[in-house]
Amino acid sequence: MKAIYHKLVKTLKQATYDTIHHHPTLSVEAIAEQMGMSASYLYRSATLDPDTDGPDASGVRFPLKQLIPLTRVTGDYQVLDLIEFTLGRIAIPLPQPGKGSTTDMQTKALNAVVEFGDLIREINFSITDGNISEEDRRRIEREGREAVQSIMVLLQSIEIK
């Protein structure tokens, strides 16, 4: 079987551009307003940067201090995911702490096993031809995140007395 690897397909600038310009329901102006910044600056921060893309580029650098507000406003984590991937890490959403009965914990444990089974099924399906397509990779990644998240939900429900 061929070596399986994943290549980086976006730059931080591209991910920032997509987050700002391709939101399904929010315009750039609405995002800027909710972030408390000017729309023109937000537009320019997602375009080519003169420091890195040549002297004719008209953009500016996106301010790092605005990354968290941008992510909160848009609910789009692709910039953070790209940073994590580049560093060989992944981010998993943390569940809300809860108090669960033993029955609730058993249900969550069973759900974690089911999610892990879904991950293994997806991997098995994807490698049958010896090649993992981009679509296969997206499905495996989704199932993997769901499996890890279900384990985190289970662990978060354990009440320490």
Model pLDDT for residues 54-96, shown as the tens digit of each residue: 666 566 778 889 999 999 999 999 999 889 888 888 777 766 6
Give yes or no: residues 82 and 141 share one domain. no
Query: Is pTM beyond 0.95 here?
Result: no
Instruction: Provide the token pair at 96.
Output: 């809300």
DSSP string, 69-95: HHHHHH---HHHHHHHHHTT----PPP
Domain final residue pick, 55, 86, 117: 86
Rounded to whole angstroms, the Cα distance separating 8 from 1 reads 22
Contact, 75 vs 34, CB < 8 A?
no
Give yes or no: residues 30 and 80 share one domain. yes
Residue 31 within a domain: yes
What is the number of structural domains in the chain? 2
Separation in Å, CA 111 to CA 145, 148, 150: 13, 11, 7
Residue 126 within a domain: yes
Give the residue numbers spanning the domain of 29.
Answer: 12-86
Residue 73 within a domain: yes
Rounded to whole angstroms, the Cα distance separating 101 from 78 reads 36
pLDDT at 51 over 80: no
What confidence score (pLDDT) does residue 160 get? Answer: 54
Residue 29 within a domain: yes
